Amino acid sequence: MSFDVVLHTTAFTDIDDAVSYYFQISPQLALGVYAEIFDSIDVIADSPYFQFRYKDYRAFPLKRFPYLILYTLNEKEMKIHVYAIFNTYQNTDKYPK
């Protein structure tokens, strides 16, 4: 059974930033990061029990790009709330609060 996924505004902003950054390098890389983010969200929706990374946030690493998908899980409502697509080169102080 798959969980419903809610993408918060901050996650959309992070996705836009990542795609814009990679588009400057190559349009194909931009498409690649976009596809990998949404493919990873599909994986999380099917199997959301990944490691806790920070407080109640779980983290799922992308395979080809230096990002973590930070999300919380509400098992009662069967929902996943994605709060950030976090660039792992950033300071961890920038984790969502």
Q: Is residue 96 part of a domain?
A: no
**Per-residue pLDDT at 51:** 83
Q: What is the mean pLDDT of each run of 10 residues along the chain (97 residues)?
A: 90 95 96 97 92 86 95 93 90 65
The DSSP letter of residue 87 is E
**Per-residue pLDDT at 79:** 95
Provide the domain count of the chain.
1
CA distances from 40 to 4, 5, 9, 26, 68 (A): 14, 12, 18, 21, 10
| pTM (two decimals) | 0.88
Q: Is residue 33 part of a domain?
A: yes
Residue 59, domain CATH = 3.30.2310.20
Find the domain containing 35 and state its range. 4-89
Q: Is residue 55 part of a domain?
A: yes
